[in-house]
Structure 1
Amino acid sequence: MDCTMTAPFAADARTPAELLHAYLRAGAPDADPSRPLITFYDDSTGERVELSAKTFDNWVAKTANLLQDELNAGPDDRAALLLPAHWQTAVWLLACWSVGVTAVPGGEPADADLVVSGPEGLAAAQECSGERVALALRPLGGRFPQRPDGFLDYAAEVPGQGDRFAPYSPVDPSSPALETVIDGLPLKLSGEQSVALAREGAARLGLGTQSRVLSTLSFDDWSGLEAGLLAPLAAGASVVLCRNSDGLTDEQWEKRIDAERVTVRLS
């Protein structure tokens, strides 16, 4: 483990979106907003995507503008995210938290105000009576060959959105931000609580600003969100997300861990 963090990173951040803002401000002396924040592998397609904090924030801003201006989503809304652990899922999570929308990874579409789904969840997503957004999850953020009926195609809608985002009203750190599962129990967390738990996870894992966390865990519960996004963000660290990687051999894993300079592996 990498224990280079001697003081809490972004100690004044009270929401997950504020953790990202702190990362962009390079709040630690050795933090560089141009370095990779998220590196993503899909081993079923051979895709590898690397996003700096600046590039990631640009995607978050565009997606938050889509949420707020096109989908009319706000702090009283809940978004069911039927998505795998993917770089675009991380974008959607931070976009929800930027607007003040409660993110519900793996949530029931029928109980949500809007739903965001990958290809595998489209049938279930039809149960949502609100806005529906589909993600093709194709390499390079590509569109669906044919837009699913009843859905907006995220890849077609997001490019035209603004590169800067400002919520219509400030996000209240004490308001609901995340519905997740911790140790088998469903919990509702505010932004403050999510950040506090992320910091606890970062400390437990010994993460610092030079850490590289490799995760193959699902985002449908807290352990995956902590490992694959929130604890690294809270520490000023970076993450390597791996999807469809069950077929990799030990030798292939060793090569990847070495090539990506991984310091912590969680699976």
Structure 2
Amino acid sequence: MTATPYSLLTSALAANPTHPLITYYDDTTGERVELSAVTTANWVAKTANLLQGELAAEPGDRAAILLPAHWQTAVWLLACSATGVVADVGGDPKSADLVIAGPDALGPGRACSGERIALGLRPLGARFPAPPEGYRDYAVEVPGQPDDFAPFSPVDPGSPALAVAGEELTGAEAAARAAADASELGLANGSRLLSARPWDSWPGLSAGLLAPLAAHGSVVLCPHLDRLEGAALEKRHTDERVTHVA
């Protein structure tokens, strides 16, 4: 079976279901969130059901993903792969079928004429105090979705799946490149890769999610790591049992 980003998750789930998969730090707020493969898969299933059910997204539809490097961004990217929706990271909302926007991108996201989902990116996935105008609040919409997911129609690994920094990849190409990156980085089963890279390019997206996933490893995602130095940075490495850095 040809791999896709979503099948990398299902493979990781089968290999190490309860081990940490994504550990996210926001060093501007002190937030730390850790998701096992089981928890990640549950979020992805609920989000994929929201996509194909409530939002009526179909394979080949394009979702503009206007989100930073974040654990909820990872969930959306994998849910798009599960449903065959093209995840266009930083894409143009005007040409998208739907938009997934963080709090700093709500204005530009309104250019999308289709469905709009807003993410507050608040600690513990909390909802907005009031729903943003023109958007559904992800934190309100997703909890009631089913925990199990099955696509309405099979997803073709050879179809476009991911667009980032002007480059478009099929699901198979994205998974293959992630596996190659994992090998180049020396990742293996159980590796813990710390990444502070933004997700606005393939190298950042691969290091921060897909390459560790392909290796059955995990990622410590620290987009504001520049706030740490010296002993605090060393403590992060020690506390999180970091084996690799990107």
Does the TM-score normalized on the shorter chain lie above 0.5? yes
CA-CA distance at 1:218 after TM superposition: 1.2
State yes or no: 1:262 paired with 2:242: yes
Matched-pair contact (CA < 8 Å) for 1:81–1:117:
yes
Q: Take 2:114 and 2:213, find their aligned partners in 1: how far apart are those partners?
A: 31
1:156 maps to which of 135, 140, 149: 140
2:217 maps to what in 1? 237
1:122 maps to what in 2? 106
CA-CA distance at 1:250 after TM superposition: 2.3
Matched-pair contact (CA < 8 Å) for 2:198–2:223:
no
State yes or no: 1:206 paired with 2:195: no
Matched-pair contact (CA < 8 Å) for 2:2–2:157:
no
The amino acid that maps onto 1:220 is D
CA-CA distance at 1:243 after TM superposition: 2.6
1:165 maps to what in 2? 149
1:32-74 Cα deviation digits (max 9, x unpaired): 2101000000011110001000000000000000000001101
- SS for the counterpart of 1:103 is strand
TM-score, length basis structure 1: 0.90
Show the 5 A alignment for 1:183-202: 186-202=166-182
Matched-pair contact (CA < 8 Å) for 1:13–1:19:
no
CA-CA distance at 1:217 after TM superposition: 1.0
1:181-217 Cα deviation digits (max 9, x unpaired): 3xxxx21110110011001100100100121011111
Aligned pair count reads: 246
State yes or no: 1:20 paired with 2:4: no
Q: Percent identity?
A: 60
Matched-pair contact (CA < 8 Å) for 2:4–2:175:
yes
Matched-pair contact (CA < 8 Å) for 1:199–1:235:
yes
Matched-pair contact (CA < 8 Å) for 1:143–1:153:
yes
Q: Take 1:25 and 1:13, find their aligned partners in 2: how far apart are those partners?
A: 17
Runs of 4+ in 1 over 6 A off after TM superposition: none
1:7 maps to what in 2? none
Gaps of 5+ in 2: none
1:9 maps to what in 2? none
Q: Take 1:198 and 1:248, find their aligned partners in 2: how far apart are those partners?
A: 28
CA-CA distance at 1:135 after TM superposition: 0.2
CA-CA distance at 1:220 after TM superposition: 1.5
Gaps of 5+ in 1: 1-11, 27-31
Matched-pair contact (CA < 8 Å) for 1:118–1:136:
yes
2:34 maps to what in 1? 50
1:146 maps to what in 2? 130
CA-CA distance at 1:13 after TM superposition: 4.7
Q: Take 2:132 and 2:225, find their aligned partners in 1: how far apart are those partners?
A: 27
